[in-house]
Amino acid sequence: MSDAPQSLRRPPFDAPHHGGNGHPSSNGHHGGNGHHGSNGHYRSSGTLDRAVAQQGAGHPAESAGTLRSETTVRDHAHLLHPADPEFDEIGEVELTDLVSDLITGLGEDVTREGLIKTPHRVERSLRFLTSGYQASVEEVLNGALFEAEGSEMVVVKGIEFYSLCEHHMLPFFGTAHIAYIPGDTILGLSKFARVVDVFARRMQVQERMTSQIADALEQALKPAGVAVVTEASHLCMMMRGVEKQGSTTRTSAMRGVFKSDARTRQEFLDALR
């Protein structure tokens, strides 16, 4: 455990656990005697003073024996913006030792030039791909609810999503199609894509993700009905296992009148053709 006072400790998503904070690697790849710190540069064995020196003037020690976080502390709102060019360069470092162990276990040399920064990059990638755990529907909707002026069906088609199969941690990706019949409120169209990302950017199964999107929209909008259909290709079936390249999976979730009224449901399904 860290020797820092409780007031200086940060939750897992805000604090790096390598390089002078009491979490050295058991196999010696990172941290106090490791090969690189959370800033991606090579770090040799040394004292806290040397670690602070490598941080540069922008990262001095907060007090004697306490090393400041090696990364800019940001709240998790930045996880919701995939276009943010800083995402893969700034963030929390917590998994690099595990990734190093994985690479070594696969028979590679994590210290060679092409791999020396790979644990750091994989950490960033996985944080982004699972950033839905740190998001909430209320946060992404951000009050974008407006008074409904009609009760006709609204259909949003072809929303791209990328997720991780929870069984193999390989990607599955495709499109989501959403329809709803407004009650008292309507939702800004871009928010449907953000709601999809909240649930796609997690370790998932497609069936559950589809139901979670439908349930979240039903709770937020209180519509007469909501319907969600997702279609996806799963790399766990394409690049391993049965290796069937042309397979796709479709799942659906119907709520309200889309479940109870066959004609309404069929109107939505016809709109997807």
pLDDT of residue 143: 85
The one catalytic residue among 62, 81, 139, 167: 167
CATH number at residue 170: 3.30.1130.10
234 a catalytic residue: yes
In a domain, 242, yes or no: yes
Please list the ranges in the chain whose pLDDT falls under 50. Answer: 1-83, 85, 87, 89-90
- ∠215-87-106 over CA atoms, to 5°? 90
Q: Which residue has the tokens 């796709």?
A: 248
140: which residues sit within 8 A by CB, 6+ positions away? 80, 191, 194, 195, 197, 198
pLDDT of residue 93: 56
pLDDT of residue 244: 86
Same domain, 121 and 69: yes
Q: Which of 80, 108, 129 is the last residue of a domain?
A: 129
pLDDT of residue 31: 41
pLDDT of residue 175: 98
pTM of the model: 0.67
- Structural domain boundaries enclosing 170: 138-271
Q: How far apart are CA 143 and CA 148, in angstroms?
A: 14
In a domain, 1, yes or no: no
Same domain, 158 and 257: yes
62 a catalytic residue: no
17 a catalytic residue: no
pLDDT of residue 41: 38
167 a catalytic residue: yes
Per-residue DSSP letters for 38-103? TTSSB--S--HHHHHHHH-TTS--SBTTBPPPSS----GGGGG-TT-TTTTTSS---SHHHHHHHH
pLDDT of residue 150: 87
Q: How far apart are CA 182 and CA 170, in angstroms?
A: 36
134 a catalytic residue: no
pLDDT of residue 104: 96
The one catalytic residue among 168, 218, 231, 267: 168
Torsion of CA 48, 52, 55, 59, to 10 degrees: 130
41 a catalytic residue: no
pLDDT of residue 163: 98
